[in-house]
Amino acid sequence: MPLYIILLALSLILLLLYIILYWRSYVKVDKQESGNLKQKSATSNLQPAAWPSFTVLIITHDSDRMLQYAIDRVAAQQYPDFEIMVVNNASTDNTNDVIKRCTKQYPNILRSTHLPQNRNGILHMAMATTLGVRAARKDWVVLLRPNSIPKSPLWLHCIADAINHGCDLCLGYNQYYGLYNAKWEQRASRWYRKRQLLNYRAINRGSRKPIEAESSNLAFRKQDFLDNGGYGRWLNLANYHQHLYAGTYATHGTTTMLMQPEAQVETMLPPIFQLWQTDYQQTRKAYRRLSSTTKLRRSYYSRLTMLFLTAALVLIVGIVLAIWPLAGDTSATIINYSVTIPGLPSVPAIALCSAIVFAASALIHHICRIHCRRRDYKMLNTPIITDTAQIFESDEYDA
């Protein structure tokens, strides 16, 4: 059999394998689903005994304006059993005044503690998180950034509903947005959205574990956190320990990612580009500490892209050998039917047909992929309800 026929057949097989693996991994974003568990409506009639108790843990550093707004929105939750724990991580602005004012405003649900600055001058999120979890009085802890605001008063209801369906770790979707809608903010928002979709699909590809977790909108059982040693294994990192915690201690089938609008939070990006660059670098540094299996799952789509490029390369080599056979390849004369194109060498019909089938299949796959991606983005990009003009004055920040 001619060598070019083998290469053409191999290229089509690799393309078919690429398409099968891609669509086998694809999971449609469904607002009514929570991870791999079907969720009832957030307004379902839960019995009081079925309501888990929550501590909403807010770790803040120099975020006095956003902190006031976040506490107000959390305090407005329509949920019977929760508290707010604020950990002041060595703030130098008016955070203490905000905490005192909010404590008088919500004396029954708000408590606070503080963490002085470390000797080496590093603000360590692991220490602040551990301090807040130990101080929590409720059974479940929900991490929330001061720049993250729940989109619905039924936010805690959605998390409670997932817990009642057997979840031990609940990851919620963060809708990132920028203050000025600058190009770097749009790029950062797309990067965060892409990695959250990757995590959502990783959880839903069978009984899989998450590959990361956002530092906001993350719920776990307090006792599980303490039994696992918290973030003690990664104290050398300054931030983003939740990626490693979720990838290490999450169990199969009991981890979910909440995507419905009621379970989302709006997270505002840092108003300065350099701050987001630092945030990005710390995230990448945490990724390097993930296990080898988790790293492979994170690079799933990258490896699929390499498979597609390999298939395309094999196709090109096959066509080249069909037009210009190797010197010692006498078997290439077995198939003599060729197509002559003016100005070009004659091409065997089987090579031309293979190229057409390859291009048509790849084009159809690409069109379907774009359609599904736009559909997922449309379902996730619900309107921003937070009015940032009430929190910030634009002339005080540099874009």
pLDDT in tens, 69-93: 899 999 999 999 999 999 988 888 8
pLDDT at 253: 81
Confidence of residue 208 (pLDDT cuts 50, 70, 90): confident
Higher pLDDT, 18 or 211: 18
Assess whether pLDDT exceeds 80 at residue 345. no
Inter-axis angle of helices 241-249 and 125-135, nearest 10? 60
pLDDT at 55: 96
State pLDDT tens for residues 241-278: 899 999 889 887 889 999 999 999 999 988 788 788 88
pLDDT, mean over the chain: 84
Tell me what the mean pLDDT of segment 49-67 comes to. 87
Is residue 217 within 8 A of residue 172, CB to CB? The reply is yes
Tell me what the mean pLDDT of segment 214-219 comes to. 93
Inter-axis angle of helices 349-380 and 300-323, nearest 10? 160
State pLDDT tens for residues 28-41: 987 655 444 343 44
Q: Look-up: residue for tokens 């990067």?
A: 191
pLDDT at 276: 82
Euclidean distance between CA atoms 182 and 83, whole angstroms: 36
pLDDT at 382: 84
- Read off the tokens for 388: 């940032």
pLDDT at 344: 57
- pTM, two decimal places: 0.84
pLDDT at 288: 87
Tell me what the mean pLDDT of segment 110-124 comes to. 72
Tell me what the mean pLDDT of segment 105-134 comes to. 81
pLDDT at 327: 63
Residue 25: CB atoms within 10 Å? 16
